[in-house]
Amino acid sequence: MDKQSKQLLVDFINQTTKQHGYAFRVLSAMDSTDDAFESAFKQLKELQVEQMKPEVEIDPRSTRTSAQDEMNIAESTDNTEENVKDNVVQFQDVKCRISGKDILRGITLNVRRGEIMGILGKNGAGKTTLLSLISGLRSPTSGKITVLGKRMPVHSAEFRRKMGFVLQENALCEELTLFENMEFSASLYNVQNSQKRILEVLEILGLSDRRDQVVSTLSGGLKRRTAIARAFLHDPELFIIDEPTLGVDADTRHALWAYLRLLRSKSKTVIVATNYLDEALALCDRVAVLGEGELLAIAEPRELVRRTGSCIDVECDEQTAKGIASGVQNIQQITRADLTLSGISLFLAKEANPDEVLREFTKYGSIEGFCFRAPDLSEVFKSLGR
């Protein structure tokens, strides 16, 4: 490796560790001998990681441990060993306070082994913070988190090898090729038969023909695929991804969905944070809906849609829309009516007959057009009282 490549590599390490809150003990030794650099790189490969102080306010009461507490911890450890067979992640009344603000408030949930679990919510709902707690990048203010049978946070390199992460930032080394990025990650995780494994993952994600392309020249969608490929290179048990299709086109979106389904078919557990209800419908076995740091619901995505009701968007003038809104108030088949800029949106109960609803609202004036659709995330929140 030449001097310029070494410097790029060290710059990348420094950038990545700042983003994710960890300090790698790495000696750059750029102006020293190759032996010095190889020694530093060996330290990096051994993943000598130390956790930086988390930026959270810890409740002093949560740090006290009495004899009874120790007994409770022992009991909960025994229970965890039994539950881990079914639950990969468990949250018990977890709270997280950052810079004086409550980000998560009393979250209790579990993620089952071999499922795709969606974390659904608007921007600022607490999704990324929840993923950071699962991954150990942040510590809770109070409550208990168990991941893969271990009480979090856990800082051992061996434990971290069981998880793969893709956060909102791709954190790729832009000046290296796609394949060189993969080789670097394989070295960090001591991947056996790394060349074969890299080629296998690139083939699955449709990146084989891009292997020698410099990352800075890739499209946003291809960079996202590369980040996902890198995170799964070491074959983790638990895969955590924040906004999987952020900034990608429709074809890439469907390709990424197909890959995440493939992971589930191999009994891997996947946790996906998303803003999009259609993504949750396409991917997830269950979703946890977050709103302003609170857990509003845990359900199958289609159950959320059923609760909200399918929707008819009606295009009409304002007077007709108000007439429809007034006229359908006592119709049991319609659960809610929202006036819109183009007319009115009607939400149907599960047992509603669309033909009857159509006949009803045509009584109130001229209709320019209408369409049936599933509800969006904002409408789901309204149905949950938010």
pLDDT tens, per residue, the chain with 386 residues = 555 555 556 555 555 444 443 333 333 333 334 554 555 555 554 443 333 333 344 343 443 333 334 334 334 444 444 455 689 999 999 999 999 999 999 999 999 999 999 999 888 899 999 999 998 889 999 999 999 999 998 878 888 889 999 988 888 999 999 999 999 999 988 999 999 999 999 998 889 999 999 999 999 889 988 999 999 899 999 999 998 887 778 888 888 888 889 889 999 999 999 888 888 888 999 999 999 999 999 999 888 888 777 888 999 999 999 988 888 887 888 888 889 999 999 888 877 777 778 777 778 888 888 888 877 777 787 777 66
Domain final residue, candidates 17, 33, 53: 53
CA distances from 62 to 126, 154, 185, 305 (A): 22, 17, 37, 39
Alpha-carbon distance of 383 to 336, in angstroms, equals 9
* 3-state class (DSSP) for residue 352: coil
For residue 308, the surrounding DSSP H or E stretch is helix 301-308
319's tokens: 């007077």
Phi/psi of residue 268, nearest 5 degrees: -85, 155
In a domain, 338, yes or no: yes
CA distances from 329 to 152, 332, 361, 366, 375 (A): 50, 8, 11, 19, 20
In a domain, 340, yes or no: yes
In a domain, 290, yes or no: no
CATH code: domain of residue 343: 3.30.70.920
Q: How many CB atoms lie within 10 A of CB 99?
A: 8
Q: What is the sign, positive or negative, of the torsion defined by CA atoms of 215, 221, 227, 231?
A: negative
Domains held by the chain: number: 2
Sequence-ordered alpha helix ranges (H) in 116-238? 127-135, 157-160, 178-188, 194-204, 220-231
Location of structure tokens 């988390």: 54
- Give the residue among 150, 156, 146, 151 at the shortest CA–CA distance from 65: 151
What letter represents residue 218's amino acid? L
In a domain, 49, yes or no: yes
- What's the pTM value of the predicted model, to 2 decimals? 0.71
In a domain, 4, yes or no: yes
Domain range holding 17? 1-53
Contact 306, 152 (CB under 8 A): no
In a domain, 225, yes or no: no
218 CB burial (10 A radius; 0-12, 13-18, 19+): buried
Domain final residue, candidates 13, 28, 53: 53
In a domain, 356, yes or no: yes
Packing angle between helix 178-188 and helix 194-204, nearest 10 degrees? Answer: 130
Does the bond joining 153 to the residue before it have cis omega, within 30 degrees of 0? yes
Alpha-carbon distance of 37 to 304, in angstroms, equals 54
For residue 263, the surrounding DSSP H or E stretch is helix 250-265
Contact 120, 280 (CB under 8 A): yes
In a domain, 239, yes or no: no
Alpha-carbon distance of 239 to 302, in angstroms, equals 23
